[in-house]
């Protein structure tokens, strides 16, 4: 089988899985559902992607990377690092709550638990670390050089997971102030008043 055909089959499986997850929910979607939606056999899903957790994890990472790519221009347009990191946190929390990134909380057995599915944490941390590294390079004099961007990405992901799963009634300006007070001090050398 040609390499492009393998990629196309994998992409159609992932497209089908993403559609099924959105339509039926992660917990209700089976490998058989995904296979039928992709027009392939169940064994093809297992051979190309893997088991159900691997399928969920792959779709989660795909959706997250796509989300971060769409967000990058807005992050780059922010006037300072604190504003960019605040936008990263708030936009990701908003997206997770309205289901674009609801897979952040998916688990085969438990549904929405507030913890990523098994094996997803390291690649998610890496994806957020890459974004932080780009922002740190753009705002060189504002990022604490003693903090590795990968660790900053992990910190922000933990904050995002917490904010997305624990609802507290705050106005947008109160959320900004909370992020500036509790989230950014370990990453940003000078936090402007927001």
Global pTM value: 0.83
- For 137-149, the pLDDT digits (tens) are 999 899 999 999 9
Enumerate long-range contacts of 4-13, CB under 8 Å, 24 or more apart: 6/48, 9/38, 9/40, 9/44, 9/48, 10/48, 10/49, 12/38, 12/39, 12/40, 13/38, 13/40, 13/44, 13/45, 13/48, 13/49, 13/55
- The tens digit of pLDDT for each residue in 134-185 reads 999 999 899 999 999 999 999 999 898 888 877 778 888 888 899 989 999 9
What burial class does residue 22 get, using C-beta atoms within 10 Å of its C-beta: 0-12 exposed, 13-18 middle, 19+ buried? middle
CB 73 within 8 A of CB 88: no
Cα 25 from Cα 106, distance rounded (Å): 9
């Amino acid at each position: 089988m040609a390499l492009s055909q393998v990629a196309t089959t994998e992409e159609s499986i992932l497209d089908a899985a993403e559609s099924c997850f959105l339509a039926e929910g992660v917990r209700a979607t089976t490998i058989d559902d995904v296979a039928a939606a992709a027009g392939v056999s169940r064994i093809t899903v297992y051979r190309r992607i893997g088991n159900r957790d691997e399928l969920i994890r792959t779709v989660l990472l795909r959706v997250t990377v796509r989300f971060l790519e769409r967000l990058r221009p807005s992050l780059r347009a922010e006037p300072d690092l604190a504003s960019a990191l605040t936008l990263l946190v708030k936009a990701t929390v908003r997206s997770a709550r309205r289901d674009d990134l609801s897979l952040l909380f998916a688990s085969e057995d438990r549904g929405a638990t507030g913890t990523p599915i098994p094996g997803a944490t390291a690649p998610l941390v890496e994806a957020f670390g890459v974004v932080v590294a780009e922002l740190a390079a753009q705002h060189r004099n504002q990022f604490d050089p003693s903090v590795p961007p990968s660790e900053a990405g992990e910190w922000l992901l933990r904050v995002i997971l917490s904010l997305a799963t624990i609802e507290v009634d705050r106005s947008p300006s109160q959320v900004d102030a909370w992020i500036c007070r509790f989230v950014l001090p370990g990453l940003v050398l000078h936090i402007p008043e927001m």
